[in-house]
């Protein structure tokens, strides 16, 4: 159906709701098989196939949806009977899938031992509201969830400046890392002179451990399309580009299909909803360069140039794509727009803190039980995120630090677990919000090695345009390599701090300006670890291999010879049934002997 007016949109919504209601009446079950990248990689496609084949002559309605965020339980299946709360199953295999269907269809009862409990009490889903709920490949299901009604409101009831003022009143800040006020950025682009303007989505999600934007693109692509069309109307642009990394094939395919559906129904293209406003969208694939997450480097890439940042000013809002005014936001920022327009600025600004409104999506990764996506109000404490929502640290280990802001962020120590997470609080302690990656570390992580790991990433991803970033990060990495291999000396800490200051002050773009953050924050909060590496030639966390020393405690050794048999360098010698010993000059510190010793007679220091 071609949607030419608000009445057509309402008709599709009513029909979709009616169809869903009738299906719920006519079907014994509704089954959601969650097929984001994480679920698919865990076997969700096979589970979906089994569900479809054994759905009992269509007695069960089988739906593919996106990721609901509980990645630690993938593959996930949600089963709903009319009038009942969903039963959520985790780690579903094809065999389990058939058993689940049989139990619900024939016994009208769940398989209780496979059920998992969602932890939604402390969360508030705005940008992720539809992920895991609707079929992302059916525009009707998005419309049934009030999709495109914000666009209709904007085009038929509001002037462009009204949209911008609503965003300014909401307090929405950019979710890509910098936290710049979104309404203000839109206003700059709106006021910029130029007959040709562009709207760009930065979907080049490059932070290690971050997958917030990918999940939205895979689970709710029409939300992005609706928001970008609203942005086009607000600033006076008729063309938009979604810049997404090629490593997101599922997201790309679902975006392509969503754009096709939008064009077919008339919600993209010419004279949208009879308003006279026209807007088109295209996809541009990135090759995975981290620096292309920086907005001016991204613009260069879209133009077919080398992905290097531009000197600013001028800013993209006045001179962006091909020298024309360009608005750039990331996926999560855009994903907030439809809800703000539908429910109002005052509703959105009532969530969060004084200077950080709304919610934030985080990707929990690392040493934490509940790995996956969460969405919480701004101001939620780090302790709540890690202990209550994330389930705490596994294997009885102790929390040591959390790294926010990706490779350019900082590490938050134990005594700051009760910090309220918002833009300003994180900056005040030497970290940053970033796009939302949150990596948790325990007592076994060496903070010097963590700093080295992230600096190695940013150094490798430097575009090389400015000397301070290209050479400075290399020199910092060399110094950290020295320290973690036992070659550090007394001047290294001062050398790192001096280099960091130069790189932060003289680099052209945000990658260089923030690259030293992991080093500076670990120096600030974990300086004794650096000193132990340098002066004692010891790694307190026993993580830096070159600083380890393995010894056999003779009183515990049973003389079984298992350690000697697995030693690759023949460093262990002795007689059977007598204590063995390790020749430190031959030991390569691989740790195989520790893993093999059943008597736990080998100590690492």
**Annotated domain spans of the chain:** 17-114, 139-349, 359-442, 447-536, 548-604
Neighbours of 157 (CB within 10 A): 10
Which pLDDT belongs to residue 22? Answer: 58
Which pLDDT belongs to residue 123? Answer: 95
Nearest to 104 by CA among 27, 42, 43: 27
Average of per-residue pLDDT values in the chain: 93
Tokens of 411: 């590490």
Nearest to 469 by CA among 406, 516, 434, 410: 516
pLDDT, mean of residues 478-493: 95
Which pLDDT belongs to residue 275? Answer: 96
pLDDT band at 105 (very low <50, low <70, confident <90, very high): confident
Return all residues near 173 (Cβ < 8 A) that are at least 6 apart: 179, 180, 181, 182, 356, 357, 423
pLDDT, mean of residues 350-376: 96
Strand partners, 181: 173
Which pLDDT belongs to residue 9? Answer: 93
Q: Which CATH architecture has domain 447-536?
A: Up-down Bundle (1.20)
pLDDT, mean of residues 552-563: 92
| Interval 164-190: pLDDT, tens | 999 999 999 999 878 999 999 999 999
Least confident of 33-47, 55-69, 513-527: 55-69
* DSSP labels, 455-468: HHHHHHH--S-SHH
Q: Is the pLDDT reported for residue 46 higher than 80?
A: yes
| Interval 347-361: pLDDT, tens | 999 999 999 999 999
Q: 504 near 513, Cβ under 8 Å?
A: yes
Which pLDDT belongs to residue 121? Answer: 83
Main-chain dihedrals φ then ψ at residue 159, nearest 5 degrees: -90, 155
In this prediction, what percent of the chain has a pLDDT beyond 70? 98
Burial category of 291 from C-beta neighbours within 10 Å (exposed 0-12, middle 13-18, buried 19 and up): buried
pLDDT band at 16 (very low <50, low <70, confident <90, very high): confident
- In order of 171, 369, 376, 425, the CA distances from 356 in angstroms are 7, 28, 12, 10
Neighbours of 179 (CB within 10 A): 19
- Distance, CA of 461 to CA of 476 (rounded, Å): 15
Q: Is the pLDDT reported for residue 598 higher than 70?
A: yes
Which pLDDT belongs to residue 175? Answer: 93
Q: Is the pLDDT reported for residue 41 higher than 90?
A: yes
pLDDT, mean of residues 195-217: 92
| Interval 47-66: pLDDT, tens | 999 999 988 666 788 999 99
Which pLDDT belongs to residue 257? Answer: 98
Which pLDDT belongs to residue 369? Answer: 95
Which pLDDT belongs to residue 510? Answer: 84
Nearest to 125 by CA among 376, 398, 312: 376
Neighbours of 315 (CB within 10 A): 18
Which pLDDT belongs to residue 91? Answer: 97
pLDDT band at 407 (very low <50, low <70, confident <90, very high): confident
Topology match between the domains 359-442 and 447-536: no
Which pLDDT belongs to residue 464? Answer: 87
Which pLDDT belongs to residue 27? Answer: 65
Kind and range of the H or E element at 496? helix 492-506
- Under CATH, which number does the domain 359-442 receive? 3.10.20.600
In this prediction, what percent of the chain has a pLDDT beyond 90? 81
Give the angle 141-146-150 at the CA atoms, nearest 5°: 130
- Please indicate whether residue 286 or residue 435 has the higher confidence score (pLDDT): 286
pLDDT, mean of residues 312-331: 96
Q: Which CATH architecture has domain 548-604?
A: 2-Layer Sandwich (3.30)
pLDDT band at 287 (very low <50, low <70, confident <90, very high): confident
pLDDT, mean of residues 463-482: 93
Query: In angstroms, what is the C-alpha Rg of the chain?
Result: 27
Which pLDDT belongs to residue 23? Answer: 61
Class level of CATH domain 139-349: alpha beta
Strand partners, 603: 551
pLDDT, mean of residues 249-264: 97
Class level of CATH domain 17-114: alpha beta
| Interval 443-452: pLDDT, tens | 999 999 999 9
Q: What is the sign, positive or negative, of the torsion defined by CA atoms of 8, 14, 18, 24?
A: positive
- Please indicate whether residue 590 or residue 449 has the higher confidence score (pLDDT): 449
Tokens of 144: 């049934």
């Amino acid at each position: 159906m071609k949607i030419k007016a608000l009445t057509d949109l309402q008709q599709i919504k009513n029909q979709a709701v009616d169809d869903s209601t009738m299906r719920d009446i006519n079907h014994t079950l509704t089954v959601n098989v969650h097929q984001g990248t994480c679920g698919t990689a865990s076997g969700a496609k096979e589970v979906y196939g089994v569900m479809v084949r054994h759905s009992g002559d269509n007695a069960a309605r089988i739906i593919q949806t996106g990721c609901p965020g509980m990645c630690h339980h993938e593959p996930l299946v949600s089963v709903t009977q009319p009038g009942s709360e969903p039963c959520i199953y985790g780690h579903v295999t094809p065999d389990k899938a058939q058993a689940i269907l049989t139990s619900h269809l024939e016994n009208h009862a769940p398989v209780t031992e496979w059920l998992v409990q969602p932890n939604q009490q402390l969360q508030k889903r705005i940008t992720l509201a539809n992920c895991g709920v609707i079929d992302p490949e059916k525009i009707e299901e998005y419309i049934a969830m009030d999709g495109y009604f914000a666009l209709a409101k904007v085009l038929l009831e509001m002037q462009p400046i009204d949209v911008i003022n609503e965003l300014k009143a909401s307090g929405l800040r950019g979710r890509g890392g910098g936290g710049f006020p979104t309404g203000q950025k839109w206003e700059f682009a709106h006021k910029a002179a130029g007959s040709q303007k562009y709207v760009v989505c930065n979907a080049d999600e490059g932070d290690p451990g971050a997958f917030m934007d990918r999940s939205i693109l895979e689970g709710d692509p029409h939300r992005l399309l609706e928001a970008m069309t609203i942005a086009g109307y607000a600033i006076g642009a008729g063309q938009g580009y979604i810049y997404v990394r090629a490593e997101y094939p599922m997201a790309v395919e679902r975006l392509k299909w969503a754009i096709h559906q939008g064009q077919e129904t008339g919600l993209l293209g010419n004279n949208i909803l009879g308003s006279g406003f026209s807007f088109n969208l295209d996809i541009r694939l990135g090759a995975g360069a981290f620096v292309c997450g920086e907005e001016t480097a991204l613009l260069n890439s879209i133009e077919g140039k080398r992905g290097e940042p531009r000197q600013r000013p001028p800013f993209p809002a006045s001179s962006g794509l091909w020298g024309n005014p360009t608005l750039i936001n990331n996926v999560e920022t855009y994903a907030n727009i439809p809800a703000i327009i539908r429910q109002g600025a005052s509703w959105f600004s009532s969530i969060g803190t004084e200077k950080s409104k709304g919610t934030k999506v985080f990707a929990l990764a690392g040493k934490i039980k509940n790995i996956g996506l969460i969405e919480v109000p701004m101001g939620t404490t780090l302790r709540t995120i890690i202990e209550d929502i994330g389930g705490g640290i596994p294997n009885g280990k102790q929390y040591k630090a959390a790294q926010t802001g990706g490779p350019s962020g900082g590490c938050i120590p134990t005594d700051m677990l009760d910090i309220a997470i918002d833009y300003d609080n994180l900056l005040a302690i030497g970290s940053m919000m970033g796009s939302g990656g949150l990596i948790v570390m325990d007592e076994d992580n060496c903070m010097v090695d963590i700093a080295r790991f992230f600096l190695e990433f940013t150094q490798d991803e430097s575009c090389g345009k400015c000397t301070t970033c290209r050479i400075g990060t290399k020199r910092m990495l060399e110094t950290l390599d020295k320290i973690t291999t036992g070659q550090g000396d007394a001047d290294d800490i001062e050398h790192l701090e001096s280099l960091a200051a130069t790189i932060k002050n003289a680099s052209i773009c945000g990658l260089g300006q923030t690259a030293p953050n992991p080093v500076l924050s670990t120096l600030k909060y974990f300086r004794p670890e650096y000193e132990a590496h340098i002066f004692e030639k010891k790694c307190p966390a026993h993580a830096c291999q070159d600083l380890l020393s393995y010894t056999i405690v003779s009183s515990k050794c049973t003389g079984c010879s298992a350690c000697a048999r697995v030693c690759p360098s023949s460093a262990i010698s002795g007689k059977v049934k007598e204590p063995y010993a390790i020749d430190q000059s031959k030991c390569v510190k691989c740790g195989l002997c520790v893993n093999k010793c059943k008597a736990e007679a080998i100590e690492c220091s």
